[in-house]
Structure 1
Amino acid sequence: MRMIELPTSSIRNSTKIPNGFHVPSVVNCSCPQCGRSAAFRLLKVDPTQNIPVASLGGNCPGCNERALFVAYFEDLDDERQGHASNLYLIDNENLFFPQPSFPEGFPVSLGRAISGAVDAYNASNLPAASTSGRRALEGIFKHIAEEDTGRKPLNKLIDAAIEKKDFSEPISRLSHAIREGGNFGAHFDLEREPSRLMVRHMLELLDYLVSYLFTLPQDIKALEDEIEREPNVFD
């Protein structure tokens, strides 16, 4: 869980309570659960509170899930006296996962599988997210192995890909961890009931692999090409 500071300009309306504070009543921001931009109508606080800090809550009009906010009140200039000086959104990072960006030339079928897993996760369809995520992982290493690897287990697919390309230590450790089972291997066992945290870990791993195996090599090649086109500064 983290607190995301929102600009005070996101406060679209406030309600003045008897002690003189102007408590935010409408806030515009992205929903921490569905990711859509929304206007949150916040519940009023107890007007008898002596407020240096106000805890507020409202439902997203898109997904109807509840979001929590914290407003801080400090001494401001006369124009802003009694208004919130700082506003924070409470973001539970396990609830929403953003769609990853794919580099140029990324296999369309893999992109669809990963996007489908993320959509299923954000819709709380964990079994579908787990299945799609597992298939996307298998697809990544089948693509790199450049051969029909059949229905091999995931660690065997990783080993086959390693024979085609040097992944160095991180990917080799991934194969070993999955092969050894335990808590890590259980994350990739389709026979187990997936939890939200387990599926999120799988999506994070997919994001890391896309960056490490596809995006990073392209970025390095683009940088090399740019440097080669520049005049030799050491001449």
Structure 2
Amino acid sequence: MIPPSILHCTKPPKFEVGYQSGKDNLIIQNETYRFLSTSWLQADLCSAGTLEITAHGEVAGSEEPILLAALNGQVLNTQPFNQERTWKLNVSEPGRLILGYFNDYTLTDVRIATLSSFWFSGPTCHVLPQIDVPAAGGKWYPAANVATLVNGLALTAVPCGPGQLTFTLVGREGNRAFPQLIIVQAGEVLGKPISRAQLQTVSLTVSALPITITITNPYYQTLADRNLIVTRLKFSPR
């Protein structure tokens, strides 16, 4: 049990975000708690009592969202939710209570272009070009020399001079179509490669100016998404 001296009790208890796996994965608004991915709430309780939890779930993957309750690091109980109902949880002693959502599930259909093995070769330098991918548009993994693009935001490659830029391209199909790219430098279209399931090599003659690579037919559709929505938390001490 956590010593009462280090608990931060309020009446009524204040439930706050204890952990979330990503930004806005647990949203608190007007005493409603939306668990959109792996996350948990926590509150300090200075007495035993009963916690009434009213919640409903959004079922996906043939499974209901499950709320787990733990006190001082020990699991008290778990409860699945589909239609809205109230769960009365017995809290046997004071301590830190955690309400966690851990069985998240999401199924998406998305077009992804994966670009790798970037290399630049020119009369003055032979090097990996400088690569930048906006966080909202994909990811860049410098150690692996791999970039992914998932929407209409552009990857930027900066050569160290004029010469030849090469990279490999592979695509993930979404809605029965593969990502199509457009490659532009100084307003000039250098290429419009269409990705496919097999690796292909793209080679371009370029100047020293920045190059943008963009998906022209982005597609993202959520097919299934399991979530848990808690609409009421009422603690009655005893």
Task: Check whether TM > 0.5.
Answer: no
Give the TM bin, normalised by the shorter chain: under 0.3
More strand by share: 2
More helix by share: 1
Which of structures 1 and 2 has the bigger CA Rg? Answer: 2
